[in-house]
């Protein structure tokens, strides 16, 4: 009975694993990396990866991945607690820019009372810049506003003595152009204040440095007008009377008029206001409605994928790079979404960290090697902190480039051997095997699959009460041809129809075949030595997948009255696996050939028993692709149909001897090792 039950469970397990696709995993290691980089913090309860993310959390992650967390907090501070600034009454002839430094303007003349003090202050605030203009080498940039005619979307800029074509300025985009800066369609141009010439610092010209010409154009290129702007310099301060008459008054910045539009960000979501406010101000989110953000509502996979692609510099605006509806497909194309890091039907914070970690390794639209490098270049993440993660990204890219040719082929001729130590209760079984495998398969047409596997399995069974130690040698052969499988285990030759298309219905095998890279989120570490790569897989991620798979098995199995009558219960189908080690070493050779070694350790609770196993497997490909030829024995026509096999069919002496050794055990229930040996024979034969 136990053998039958184990066979049923193993069969269900294999089917569920194939069908699992993207399932719930545990990407704690991805969360750890993001936490070290300062991009993910979790909560007081921990990472909370097993719950759905809300919109406030997704907005926060987007700001961090944009490298704008400090800017967002500063923006919010300025909006909610604006600092007073010195301004003057409108009737004053002067605009007092800085009372302490004695800087004021009248018309187009800039007055500076204390040049040295001003230059020192400018240096402290980073306003000094190297600039070569007729021998002047240090400049301080001073913003001077220029009025832009209504309807102007473009301007051309030139100045007296300028060589070449005028500079063109796009007023619809924020950014620097030559010596000008555009903000929200308003032009601010920056003029250099001379600080040094020929090593002397006592020069301060009082004449006009240069006259600037602006020609304003509308969207059709029609000239709307021209503006000439000049700037005079003087370090003669405004008179005391004039300064006094200005009477500076306390005013708030423009933030005084700022209104945060979302009224539902209180009651637990105050912490998210800086992030949401900054995103809203930058046009990266519009909220759920004009006045609500719905911060506590779940963030969907579609929404978060859209956020990630925006973080990478792609736009989903009209005429942009992608649309909201095709965000996931676009992200998959760009390597941000894969079969493991996102479960769209059960989207969790676990998926958020896996996808975010993957996005860090993806190239942004701006052209950097990856998003993490962009954040380092912008000063959002310390270079020293990011260095080991960047090395992981580089090594994985190298591996995936080499692995692409191997993963793409579905035809291989290889040798494989393994050793396994398995403990069940108080019994220990050592097993080893060596096989030659030839396979040619097309995922789109499984009916034409060809395969030949020949080799032997050796099992050492220790002595138990009433039974001596035994070593079983199990020669095995398996062939697949024209939709029929042929098995020869210890001389028992059986054939049966093999309808893989029906058995694997609903599984996108082509998608699995097309997945020719190792997902970043499934790795704990990777190193490279020439053409050899060593990888430690994320065992917690696999354990999460196993848990989901086994849950599916339990849900799918229905215990019938007949099964209950035989003593079968639902508890018999409860399975758990704890993978503690999954290390892989792979060496690439010429022509797509490779050697691979896997070293794994796990424990499994199944059928009320705990099984622990250590497995080491080596595989070496000797041919791939068109070079593979599947060789079959000449006696396949002598194999007996599975429906005709009886207990008397096993006429081979070796099979009879092995059967006698198994029957020598007192009972099937006494020694699990014997049962497992029998199970191995039954499973391969089936």
- C-alpha–C-alpha distance, residues 413 and 591, integer Å: 13
Residues 104-125: b if buried by 16+ CB within 10 A, e if exposed:
bbeeebbbbbebeebbebbeee
Dist. CA 238–CA 243, nearest whole Å: 6
List of residues 6+ apart from 371 with CB closer than 8 A: 65, 311, 312, 359, 360, 361, 362, 363, 364
Positive or negative, the CA dihedral 677, 678, 683, 686 is positive
Give the rounded distance of the alpha carbon of 326 from its chain centre: 18
- Give the whole-angstrom CA distance, residue 182 versus residue 185: 6
Q: Which of 629, 645, 540, 563 is nearest to 27 (CA)?
A: 540
- Identify the three-state secondary structure at position 180: strand
Which pLDDT value is given to residue 23?
Answer: 47
DSSP code for 287: -
* pLDDT score recorded for residue 24: 54
Q: What residue ranges in 63-205 does DSSP mark as E strands?
A: 85-87, 95-98, 103-106, 109-112, 128-133, 136-145, 154-159, 167-170, 175-177, 180-183, 186-197
How far does the chain reach from its first CA to its final CA, in angstroms? 16
Distance of alpha carbon 196 from alpha carbon 42, whole angstroms: 52
Beta strands in 441-573 (DSSP E): 450-461, 470-481, 484-489, 492-497, 523-529, 532-537
pLDDT value of position 497: 87
CA distance linking residue 373 with residue 366, whole number of Å = 11
Q: Which of 176, 178, 158 is nearest to 166 (CA)?
A: 158
Integer Cα distance of 592 and 403 in angstroms: 8
The percent helix, strand, coil of the chain (3-state, each to 5) is 35, 30, 35
Do 99 and 86 touch, CB atoms closer than 8 A?
A: yes
Rounded mean pLDDT for each run of 10 residues along the chain, 686 residues in total: 30 36 70 94 86 94 93 82 39 49 60 65 60 50 61 80 77 71 64 50 44 79 77 54 41 52 90 93 88 94 95 92 96 92 92 96 95 94 95 96 82 93 83 94 81 92 75 91 90 84 52 70 94 91 64 64 75 75 92 91 79 92 92 94 66 47 39 37 36
Which residue in this structure is represented by tokens 């070493």? Answer: 585
pLDDT digits (tens, 9 = 90+) for 30-44: 999 999 999 998 877
- According to the model, what pLDDT value does residue 79 have? 75
pLDDT at 642: 80
Q: Token pair 């990630």 is at which residue? A: 308
Do 2 and 318 meet the contact criterion of CB atoms below 8 Å apart?
no
pLDDT of residue 422: 87
Distance between CA atoms of residues 9 and 611, nearest Å: 14
**What was the pLDDT predicted at 247?**
40
pLDDT at 256: 44
* Range list of H helices, 364-444: 371-377, 383-408
């Amino acid at each position: 009975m136990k053998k039958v039950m184990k066979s049923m469970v193993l069969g269900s397990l294999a089917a569920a694993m194939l069908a699992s696709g993207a399932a719930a995993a545990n990407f704690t290691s991805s969360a750890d990396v993001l936490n070290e980089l300062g991009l993910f913090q979790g909560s007081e309860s921990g990472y909370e990866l097993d719950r759905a993310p809300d919109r406030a959390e997704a907005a926060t992650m987007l700001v961090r991945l944009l490298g704008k967390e400090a800017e967002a907090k500063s923006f919010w501070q300025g909006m909610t607690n604006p600092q007073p600034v010195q301004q003057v009454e409108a009737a004053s002839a002067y605009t007092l820019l800085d009372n302490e430094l004695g800087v004021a303007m009248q018309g187009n003349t800039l007055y500076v009372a204390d040049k040295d003090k001003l230059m020192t202050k400018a240096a402290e605030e980073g306003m000094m810049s190297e600039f070569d203009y007729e021998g002047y080498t240090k400049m301080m940039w001073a913003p001077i506003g220029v009025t832009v005619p209504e309807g102007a979307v473009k301007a051309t800029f030139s100045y007296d003595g300028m060589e070449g074509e005028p500079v063109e300025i796009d007023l619809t985009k924020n950014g620097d152009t030559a010596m000008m800066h555009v903000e929200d369609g308003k032009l601010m141009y920056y003029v250099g204040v001379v600080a040094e010439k020929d090593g002397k610092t006592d020069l301060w010209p009082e004449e006009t440095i240069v006259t600037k010409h602006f020609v304003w154009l509308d969207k059709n290129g029609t000239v709307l007008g021209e503006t000439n702007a000049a700037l005079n310099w003087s370090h003669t301060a405004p008179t005391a009377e004039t300064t006094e008459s200005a009477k500076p008054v306390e005013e708030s910045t423009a933030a005084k008029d700022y209104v945060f539009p979302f009224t539902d960000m209180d009651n637990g979501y105050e912490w998210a206001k800086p992030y949401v406010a900054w995103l809203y101000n930058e046009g990266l989110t519009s909220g759920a409605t004009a006045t609500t953000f719905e911060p506590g509502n779940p963030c969907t996979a579609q929404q978060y994928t859209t956020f990630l692609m925006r973080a990478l510099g792609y736009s989903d605006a009209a005429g942009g790079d992608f649309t909201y509806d095709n965000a996931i497909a676009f992200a998959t194309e760009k390597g941000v979404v894969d079969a493991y890091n996102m479960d769209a039907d059960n989207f969790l914070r676990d998926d958020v960290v896996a996808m975010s970690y993957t996005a860090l390794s993806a190239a942004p639209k701006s052209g950097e090697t990856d998003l993490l490098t962009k954040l380092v270049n912008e000063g959002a993440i310390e270079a020293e902190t990011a260095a080991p993660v960047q090395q992981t990204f580089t090594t994985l890219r190298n591996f995936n480039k080499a692995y692409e040719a191997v993963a793409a082929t579905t035809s291989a001729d290889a040798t494989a051997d393994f050793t396994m130590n398995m403990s069940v209760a108080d019994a220990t079984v050592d097993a080893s095997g060596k096989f030659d495998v030839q396979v040619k398969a097309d995922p789109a047409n499984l009916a034409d699959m060809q395969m030949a596997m020949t080799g032997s399995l050796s099992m050492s069974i220790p002595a138990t009460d009433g039974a001596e130690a035994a070593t079983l040698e199990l020669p095995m052969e398996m062939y697949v041809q024209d939709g029929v499988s042929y098995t020869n285990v210890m001389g028992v030759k059986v054939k049966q129809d093999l309808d893989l298309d029906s058995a694997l219905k609903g599984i996108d095998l082509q998608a699995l075949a097309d997945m020719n890279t190792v997902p970043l989120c499934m790795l704990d570490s990777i190193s490279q030595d020439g053409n050899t790569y060593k990888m430690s897989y994320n065992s917690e991620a696999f354990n999460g997948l196993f848990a989901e798979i086994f849950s599916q098995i339990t849900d799918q199995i229905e215990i019938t009255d007949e099964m209950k009558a035989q003593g079968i219960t639902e508890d018999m189908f409860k399975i758990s696996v704890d993978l503690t080690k999954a290390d892989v070493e792979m060496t690439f050779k010429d022509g797509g050939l490779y050697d691979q070694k896997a070293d794994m350790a796990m424990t499994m609770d199944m059928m009320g028993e705990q099984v622990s196993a250590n497995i080491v497997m080596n595989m070496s490909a000797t041919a791939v692709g068109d070079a593979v030829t599947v060789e079959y024995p000449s006696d396949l026509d002598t194999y007996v149909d599975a429906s005709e096999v009886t207990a008397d069919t096993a006429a081979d002496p070796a099979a009879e001897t092995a059967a006698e050794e198994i029957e020598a055990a007192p009972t099937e229930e006494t020694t699990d090792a014997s049962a497992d040996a029998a199970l191995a024979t039954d499973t391969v034969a089936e």
